[in-house]
Amino acid sequence: MSELVLSEIASPDDLKVSIGNYCSGVVVVTAQASDGALYAMTCQSFHSLSLDPPLVAYFAGKGSRSYAALRRLDDYAINVLAEDQEELAMRFARSGPDKWAGTGWTSDRFGQPHLHGCIANISCRTYAEYDGGDHLIHVGRVNAITHDAGKAPLLFFRSRFTRLERAVSG
């Protein structure tokens, strides 16, 4: 076990290493503009925020070009990735014009793209956005949810993708 030296002010690197010990799920935020253009970005900073009203939040770096496009749209979907969707997470984490090529998806009743094979697809409408230092905190009101309880999640831990070692039971 490595020793952590405490200081009054944690460096960004110290914080990154420490928080990297917190396992998180992986989502892809997707949206389709009225002109048919598709947008998406991978995000592992996603959380439930409120049950009443139903709110979720994800956090995007202020320099993210994908988020710059997504934040202009009111409606979007959060796609919670299953353990076999690491390639999809990597595809939407990169910049590039053809991220959607060969990706299976369908539009929800709000016109937003739901990726196939996910654990959950959450249709949202922008509720608020807050400053969070070098990130923006995007809050969405949940309009609808579909889910598949029979799948295990794709996880992110210590700067890499991982999977649950035990079976997920309903």
Neighbour count for residue 88 (Cβ, 10 Å): 24
Helices (H), the chain: 12-19, 65-70, 86-93
The pLDDT value recorded for residue 49 is 94
**Does residue 167 lie within any of the structural domains?**
no
**Does residue 170 lie within any of the structural domains?**
no
* Cis-peptide into 53, omega within 30 deg: yes
**Does residue 1 lie within any of the structural domains?**
no
**Does residue 15 lie within any of the structural domains?**
no
pLDDT digits (tens, 9 = 90+) for 42-95: 998 899 999 999 999 999 988 888 888 898 999 999 999 999 999 999 999 987
**Does residue 98 lie within any of the structural domains?**
yes
Domain interval for residue 73? 23-155
**Does residue 164 lie within any of the structural domains?**
no
Q: How many domains does the chain have?
A: 1
**Does residue 130 lie within any of the structural domains?**
yes
C-alpha distance from residue 14 to each of 3, 60, 97, 137, 157 (Å): 12, 20, 34, 22, 16
CA 65 to the chain's CA centroid: 15
Decide if pLDDT at 18 tops 60: yes
Token couple for 115? 């990726």
**Does residue 18 lie within any of the structural domains?**
no
Contacts of 119 (CB under 8 A, 6+ apart): 80, 81, 82, 147, 148, 151, 152, 153
CB-based contacts of 15-21 (< 8 A; 24+ apart in sequence): 20/157, 20/158, 20/159, 21/157, 21/158
pLDDT digits (tens, 9 = 90+) for 99-131: 899 999 999 999 999 999 999 999 999 999 999
The pLDDT value recorded for residue 124 is 97
**pLDDT: which is higher, 34 or 6:** 34
Q: What is the CATH number of the domain that holds 117?
A: 2.30.110.10
What's the predicted TM-score (pTM) here? 0.85
Short-list 37, 67, 66, CA closest to 137: 67
Asked if residues 155 and 161 have their Cβ atoms less than 8 Å apart, the reply is yes
